[in-house]
Amino acid sequence: MALPNPREAFGQPKIKDLIARTKTYESLGGQDVGQIVRDTLRQYRELHRGKEELFEPGFINEMDAFVEAAAPEGKGGLKFLVKSQWDDWSVEKFDKFLSFRHSVRDFDRTPVDPTLLTSAIAASLKAPSVCNRQGWFIHYYDDKTKMAELLSYQNGNAGFTECIDKLIIVTGNLKAFTRHEHNQLFVDGGLVSMNLMLAIHAAGLGSCPLNTCMAYTKEQKLMAAAGIPENERLIMMIAVGNLKDEFSVAQSEKYSLDDVLVQH
Ligand SMILES: Cc1cc2nc3c(=O)[nH]c(=O)nc-3n(C[C@H](O)[C@H](O)[C@H](O)COP(=O)(O)O)c2cc1C
């Protein structure tokens, strides 16, 4: 429906399949997608009001019965936007915001406000993902003994382990992807991780991404210690702490546009 000219009565076989699968899912106890499916089909139905003759017999009744099983909550279908909502932002402002994000390895020793960090995590979940699968988990640790144990498996936190106040491990959920989509787990996991580091930055906190490049056997031990189930894959750790009033970071000079932009 978000395309410029949606074909009239499009997708009938897929909608029938979607209704059948949603009913099965709900009969097995699944509660998370029914409202989204119904609200989406509700809008589809409105789009075709007065055009019922375009559909095969029985289709509209089946769809109406399915849709009306739940009151509208606006969780699916289209979202209407106006261009002026973009007036608040600019590349200059965004570039300035990005210019202040650094990998911080010297945190203040005061505790990070958990509510602030949780709100940043919540904001980061707006990241795009393939088919909106959102095949990721954000594991959050604040127990210092557990954090020290988990960081002992990681090879890039020496020298600043002690000042890390909170530890996050971003994982990808294998169950969200089919056989040919496994790399997508790392793409989507990377996108939500970047969103999270920017959200942490927006919250006025510091972060440092920490690689999870390690041998499979070590990874298994880390996952067991971290309470991460086998169907997940490690994307990265993120060390979090409060910013000191004054502190230093590595310059980490970036390539210029000319080094990277390949015009075709
Ligand atoms: C996936 C990933 C893993 C990283 N792992 C580590 C690490 O283990 N230890 C560390 O000190 N920095 C680590 N970094 C931080 C990079 O060194 C840093 O992003 C890079 O030097 C650029 O600096 P900047 O983040 O300040 O722009 C990692 C960064 C990424 C994206």
SS3 per-residue string spanning 230-256? CCEEEEEEEEEEECCCCCCCCCCCCCC
| pLDDT single digits (tens) 9-68 | 999 999 999 999 999 999 999 998 999 999 999 999 999 999 999 999 999 999 999 999
| pLDDT single digits (tens) 105-125 | 999 999 999 999 999 999 999
Q: In a mutational test of the pocket of ligand 1, which residue from 98, 103, 161, 243 has the highest number of ligand atoms less than 8 Å from its CB?
A: 103
Residue ID of nearest Cα to ligand 1 atom 18: 103
Residue ID of nearest Cα to ligand 1 atom 21: 252
Band (pLDDT 50/70/90 cuts) for residue 179 is confident
- In this structure, how many other beta carbons lie within 10 angstroms of the beta carbon of residue 172? 26
Please report the pLDDT score of residue 107 as a whole number: 98
Where along the chain do the CATH 3.40.109.10 domains lie? 85-242
| pLDDT single digits (tens) 219-250 | 999 999 999 999 999 999 999 999 999 999 99
The pair of structure tokens assigned to 231 is: 């169907």
The pair of structure tokens assigned to 109 is: 């020793």
CA of 24 to the centre of ligand 1 (A): 45
pLDDT at 171 over 90: yes
CA 105 to ligand 1: nearest atom: 11
Contacts 24+ apart (CB under 8 A), 78-84: 78/1, 78/2, 78/43
> What number of CA atoms fall less than 13 Å from residue 261's CA on the CB side?
4
Q: What are phi and psi of 172, to 5 degrees?
A: -105, 145
pTM of the model as a whole? 0.94
**Which amino acids bring their CB within 6 angstroms of ligand 1?**
102-103, 105, 156, 208-211, 236, 249, 252
What is the CATH code for 85-242? 3.40.109.10
CA 190 to ligand 1: nearest atom: 1
Closest CA to 215 of 162, 171, 155, 148: 155
CA 236 to ligand 1: nearest atom: 1
